[in-house]
Amino acid sequence: MLSSEISKAGFFPGARFFVKSRVYYSVILALFMFSFSSILPVSLRADQPGALNLNLMPYPARVNLTGGEFRLTEKFYVGGHVKPDHRVFKAACRFMSRLAARTGLFFEQDYLAGQPVNDQTVFLYHFERPGQLVPGEDESYLLEINPEKIELKAKTDLGLLHGLETLLQVLSADSAGYYFPCLQIEDSPRFTWRGLLIDSSRHFMPVEVIKRNLLAMSAVKLNVLHWHLSDDQGFRVESKSFPRLHQLGSDGLYYRQAEIIDIIQLASDLGIRVVPEFDLPGHSTSWLVAYPEYGSLPGPYQLERKFGVSSPVFNPAEEKTYKFFDRFLKEMTFLFPDPYFHLGGDEVEPKHWKENPEIQKFMKKNKISDEAGLQAYFNRRLLQLLTKYHKKMIGWDEIYQPGLPKNIVIQSWRGQQALVDGAKKGYQGILSNGYYIDLVESAERHYLNDPLPSDSLLTPEEKKLILGGEATMWAELVTPETVDSRLWPRSAAIAERFWSPKEIRDVDDMYKRLRIISLSLEENGINHLKNQPMMLRRLAQSYEIGGLEVLARVAEPVKGYARHSQGKTYNSLAPLTRFVDACFPESLEARDFRQKVEKFIGNRDLRQAEEIKGCFRLWQENHQKIVRLANFSPILKETVPLSASLLTLSQIGVEAVDLLMKGKPAEPSWLEEKFKQLEEARKSVAECQLAIWPGVKALLDCLKK
């Protein structure tokens, strides 16, 4: 088999912004040729003449391109020996529906009614046994395509689900029509736990949000939905044992049990486990609004609107607390069939424990030296209940205490060292540190973060304890309208890190493939691309949003937790409808621009200089459009200073390119002034930052030499 290889092409979708101006014709032409060549599903690979470079994500473990094509026609008959209620049958139906939608072909086969194997069958799938939705299950598959037939086989039906997604990704086109390249793919995941956390507590995520994201997860071979269902801001599950939990702790926004069963069934059909999280004993205000008698102080309590770490916490010293959880866990462990149950355990604020004399007396009586020991006592009691109901416990770093059984899973949010320390003590773990996608970091940063880095000092046996990782979408600053744009496409890059061989780390190629996968995610209902213009139209109260789009494409939200310190007070009722919310976490246009600058600095090519100056001129002329829009839309006034900074950067950039092309040294006083302007333009405005700033700085730095 040929080892997996990846190309270094790129794609610049922002080229469409240049179309209206003949002044930039040469820029348009160059960018169009650049974009068109890389948007094709396959391209020639220079190091292997005649071979095809597949835009797959996650990239398979082994790929062998055998030459030739399977041409797709309306006589594309699919067959496998499964009943219509089987998840493979459903997956094959979805596959055929998506294939028809992509190609416009009217397939002759009634694939919804039956998929018999006969002389007409050209795509045959089969598996040896049903797969269990548990860690460690076999998810491998073998895909073989020749000019006459396609065969997909796997040990379990889970492998078939992954193989169907890969087959869709290799769909290719030329002037003669659609085809699948002839190949052999032998694939299996690197890690068994490939998760995505969705927080439905801080902002409620309706059923349709969860369902469309399950479909997207399946498309990139993620296999665990970690569902964060309770926190200070809301308790989101109907409880028939304790109905006041959802009646008083949710603002009326919760999942009915029938809806949860429906979501779990869809997840099962997609080969995805659903692991619920009820965060305990802290982050528990919403519970205590309904049942204050289980709190460490008398209350009353009210739903928390602010974000952060709150003081309300369950009382571990009262026996009635554990009777309450016995009934609650009996109900919820029956509702959620996964063998694992997440009890949170993070960020417990001990203030109320310290203020309760009875709790302090309990600690002294039981020789519990500190609040960490008290939490460990609480965890052990809940672990006994989970064990009683045949569940394994998973929790955040803080749950670890000596004496816990080795079948628990520790989820590390504080750093890789916690994961390593747990493995050295014999505990299974998954990594989330470095995968907090709510912090709007770059796909590159997440992609190069690894649950098992190449320099790991763990022994082979200890490495087996690292089950994988989870991307985490905390919901302080997202709503159902914006959550998709924060999740995707960056989660696809994380999915590749969890699935593909560790040697696949080419960042440029990852971005090239990521853009294409981003487009295909839309067929699963993901709104990450289409919601931006909708939000900008609402802000502008106009269809004429070209200027806003230009600005949004080179702006990014401030990183990390910086939005909480920019002057606005965010809580669960705050509007998340401003310009910053419409901006993507990462500007791919700005990344392309930086690469153009780097190439220009290296060769001082005239054509590249004109392309870069064309970008600068576009951004300069855009400022007046923003000013005009802001005159009629007060909510957009905060974008005017941001646009003015873009104007400044563009003016600096044009002058710098001209000096570099003329080969003239820059006057020290001119450089000093421009660097001052550069630093001023670097400051965040309207909770945004201009992502082209590094490219402009590189031009000025070049003039210092």
pLDDT digits (tens, 9 = 90+) for 403-442: 788 889 999 998 888 899 999 999 999 999 999 999 999 9
Q: Which residue has the tokens 């997840």?
A: 267
Q: Tell me the pLDDT tens digit for each residue of 47-60.
A: 333 334 789 999 99
Residue closest to 453 by CA, chosen among 409, 488, 505: 505
Confidence band (pLDDT; 50, 70, 90) for 267?
very high
Q: Where are the alpha helices (DSSP H) in 300-340?
A: 319-335
pLDDT at 405: 86
Q: Would you say residue 41 has pLDDT above 90?
A: no
Contact 449, 497 (CB under 8 A): yes
Residue-wise over 375-408: b if at least 16 C-beta within 10 A, else e? bbbbbeebbebbeeeebbbbbbbbbbeeebeeeb
Confidence band (pLDDT; 50, 70, 90) for 44?
very low
Residue range 139-168: mean pLDDT, rounded: 98
Whether the predicted model's global pTM rises above the 0.85 cut:
yes
Task: Give the Cα separation of 344 and 201 in Å (integer).
Answer: 13
pLDDT at 268: 98
Question: Strands 688-690 and 234-235, how do they pair?
Answer: unpaired
Least confident of 109-113, 120-124, 588-592: 109-113
pLDDT at 622: 98
Task: Give the Cα separation of 556 and 586 in Å (integer).
Answer: 6
pLDDT at 114: 85
Give me the catalytic one of 151, 347, 349, 522. 347
Q: Tell me the pLDDT tens digit for each residue of 332-360.
A: 999 999 999 999 999 999 999 999 999 99
Task: Give the Cα separation of 44 and 38 in Å (integer).
Answer: 11
Q: Would you say residue 29 has pLDDT above 70?
A: no
SS3 471: strand
Residue closest to 531 by CA, chosen among 475, 586, 479, 472: 479
pLDDT at 704: 86
Residue range 130-144: mean pLDDT, rounded: 97
* Superfamily of segment(s) 43-187: Chitobiase/beta-hexosaminidase domain 2-like (3.30.379.10)
Any idea where the domains of the chain sit in the sequence?
43-187, 543-704
Task: Give the Cα separation of 333 and 389 in Å (integer).
Answer: 7
Q: Tell me the pLDDT tens digit for each residue of 542-590.
A: 999 999 999 999 999 999 999 998 888 999 999 999 999 999 999 999 9
Q: Would you say residue 30 has pLDDT above 50?
A: no
Q: How far, rounded to the nearest angstrom, does the alpha carbon of residue 317 sit from its chain's CA centroid?
A: 40
The fold of the 543-704 domain, in CATH, is Methane Monooxygenase Hydroxylase; Chain G, domain 1 (1.20.58)
Q: Would you say residue 202 has pLDDT above 90?
A: yes
SS (H, E, C) 343-402: EECCCCCCHHHHHCHHHHHHHHHCCCCCHHHHHHHHHHHHHHHHHHCCCEEEEEHHHCCC
**Has 347 been annotated as catalytic?**
yes
Between the alpha carbon of residue 243 and those of residues 68, 233, 238, 326, 369, the distances in Å are: 62, 17, 7, 15, 36
Asked if the domains at 43-187 and 543-704 fall in one CATH topology, the answer is no
